Structure 1
Amino acid sequence: MKRFGIMIWTLLTIFSLCNNTAFAEPSPMLATEARSAVLMDAHSGKILFEKNSHEKLSPASITKVMTMLLVMEAIDQGKIKWQDQVRVSEKAASMGGSQIFLQPGEQMSVTDLLKGIAVASANDASVAIAEYIAGTEEHFVELMNKRARELGMKDTHFANSNGLPADNHFSSAYDIAVMSRELLKHPEITKFTGVYQDYLRKDSPKPFWLVNTNKLVRFYLGVDGLKTGFTSEARFCLTATAQRDQMRAIAVVLGEPNAKIRNKEVSQMLDYAFNQYTHFTVYKKGDLIAQRQIPKGDPEWVEFRANQPMGILIRKGEDPKAYHKKIIWQEVSAPIKKGQVLGKVQISKEGRVVTEWELVSVQDIQEATFWSNFKKTLRKIFFIS
């Protein structure tokens, strides 16, 4: 775009500020056998159904959602690489329960360890990758708890990386939905959690067959994750996610009596979400959201574009025209720092704010100098782009 000869393309950083509480409607009869449950829209974070959602319970292997999140973030930050070979310690190899039977001194890639965690719920793989990232599992657990605090997970405290029974290790259905939603911001994770079966050590004389502990991956349309859990204390637990068209839902149940009922009740929760709601797209990825002039800025104009699809959750049959969009700017002038909020997009219905997205600068904007202002004036005079 040509305007006063100066323009930069600033991507939109999206923060959903909507009120993440259940819609004020009669609660559906869902998850009747679960001790606690949450149904969440993954895009907005809206709660569609909840039952004892903040009760602190043992999460069992659902703990590994946080472990996988820290793995994905370490990869994004360049701290580790997919092809890195991880040496297995005595401690990691000694883990009981679900495992891929790692041997002390064995080396396995980050990719295969994550596959073992996501598909087979491998406790040994969880400890091995935790030690690789943080040096010790104890330090990794500190990172897990730090990340939980950053995500506002007030009902959670971790004592290990894999969810094996331990004192002072608990979470809630709500917190699990929150960290599941955060993990899903890394779309490549579903290439692991959505696999029903695969093999490790393929080139060895004894390949190890992996079968996903989450059977809904195979039997429920659209399910591509995330994590099961079971201990005698926690009973049968699951955080599941499914996508249909533009809508993605997260269903969490804790304390189910058996796997069959767990899968049935999660399926009913997902059915409810997809039958009752739909996702209405407000902006497609790359759409122009707004332009803003920065007084005394160099450059003078910024452009905000959606860096991912942005939309709202509405009831099926509801008229999207009932929702209104407004851009609210903050008073700002140069210099502007990267990450500074310049305004917000507000979506409302009948005068009630439904969702807000912040408009954030993704770069520093300097105060214009005499020389830059002089060049700008010349461009205006001579119509130079």
Structure 2
Amino acid sequence: MILTAGFFVYLGWIFIFSQNEKIRQVSLFGPSGQAEKTAKITEKENEETFGSENIKLEAKAAYVFDVLKNQPLFELNPDVQLPLASVTKIMTALVATENLPSYILVTIPQEAILQEGDDGFLSGEQWPIADLVDAMLVSSSNDAAFSLAFEYDKNFNGNFVSLMNQRAQDLQLVQTYFLNPTGLDFSKNTAGAYGSAKDIANLLLYILKNRFSLMEATRFDEIEINQRKFKNTDYLVNDLAGFMAGKTGYSDLAGGNLAIVLDKGYGHPIIIVVLGSNFEGRFRDAKNLYEAVIARKIDL
């Protein structure tokens, strides 16, 4: 892979990007610094019309972005602030690899083992950062996400979640705010992270342009690290041609979320984000949007 400020080569295709993205500024935080209450969804059917065709979605918000043309193809409540669930881990991966030395081994703390889910990690094990990031993004491991943040907080005298929020501000992700590194619901009424469909698309766009190798493992159905297998939580990895990267998210407060990057063909990447769907509906929504792009129901 070859990266420069203006383009990169991936799987034989050359991707060229405009450096002049414009992101509309909207309110992010309340006066207390906490995420404000999730905005009310626009009162309209979750349906958009392109030509004579209708695209019906189960999601509360969706955003489709054409990377080469640097323009949105589809918008449904794109700026509404919604719970992110494990889509949070995209930022966790970015911040961990930017702030932890690549050569260190991360020790899995007992507190990580107590996180929701079981990915086979054992307390006291030591893992390279890159391997933990891959496991976290592919299998949505909460143990791995917690361990990366814990390592920074304990041994580098910092606050990992604060770094995540600062990075969101740096990238002008104006509806995004994190309370933890996993995206797990913080309480019965408060999500672990909030953001908009457009914010997540812009985060993926940044990674696509600057750090795409970070998410390369997510294009595989399963990966093996240290003789352990990690299954991809994204059902579409083998179902959609040109799948390049993706991250799932699901929680009681968030419902079903999905963020994916697909190559439409001839080096034409498309970013699709759906938020606030349901467990299976997020995959149906993303697939319907992608098929609309292919069928040119959404203009290219």
User: Scaled by the length of structure 2, what TM-score is found?
Assistant: 0.76
1:20 Cα deviation after fit: 6.3
Q: 1:66 is matched with which residue?
A: 91
Q: Label 1:72 to 1:116 Cα distance change in 2 as closer, same or farther (>3 A).
A: same
Q: 1:199 is matched with which residue?
A: 224
**Identity of matched residues, %:** 27
What are the equivalent positions in structure 2 for 1:77-226 lying under 5 Å apart?
A: 79-81=100-102, 84-97=104-117, 99-135=118-154, 139-166=159-186, 167=190, 169-185=193-209, 186-202=211-227, 208-226=228-246
What are the equivalent positions in structure 2 for 1:1-385 lying under 5 Å apart?
A: 16-19=19-22, 27-28=49-50, 29-43=54-68, 45-74=70-99, 79-81=100-102, 84-97=104-117, 99-135=118-154, 139-166=159-186, 167=190, 169-185=193-209, 186-202=211-227, 208-243=228-263, 244-259=265-280, 261-276=281-296
1:211 Cα deviation after fit: 1.1
Q: 1:352 is matched with which residue?
A: none
Shifted more, 105-114 versus 41-50: the winner is 41-50
1:161 Cα deviation after fit: 0.5
Contact 2:152 / 2:159 at 8 angstroms: preserved in 1? no
CA distance in 1, matches of 2:148, 2:104: 11
Q: 1:348 is matched with which residue?
A: none
Q: Label 1:101 to 1:215 Cα distance change in 2 as closer, same or farther (>3 A).
A: same
Contact 2:18 / 2:70 at 8 angstroms: preserved in 1? no
1:42 Cα deviation after fit: 2.9
Q: Label 1:258 to 1:90 Cα distance change in 2 as closer, same or farther (>3 A).
A: closer
Contact 2:23 / 2:172 at 8 angstroms: preserved in 1? no
SS at match of 1:30: strand
CA distance in 2, matches of 1:51, 1:190: 26
Q: Label 1:47 to 1:210 Cα distance change in 2 as closer, same or farther (>3 A).
A: same
Equivalent position amino acid for 2:247 in 1 = K
SS at match of 2:195: coil
- Post-superposition Cα deviations, 1:312-334, rounded to whole Å, max 9, x if no partner, equal xxx65xxxxxxxxxxxxxxxxxx
1:110 Cα deviation after fit: 1.5
1:101 Cα deviation after fit: 3.1
**Paired residues, number:** 254
Gaps of 5+ in 1: 1-10, 203-207, 279-314, 317-385
Equivalent position amino acid for 1:180 in 2 = L
Contact 1:118 / 1:193 at 8 angstroms: preserved in 2? yes
Gaps of 5+ in 2: 7-16, 25-47
Q: Label 1:102 to 1:170 Cα distance change in 2 as closer, same or farther (>3 A).
A: same
SS at match of 1:250: strand
1:277 Cα deviation after fit: 9.9
1:274 Cα deviation after fit: 4.0
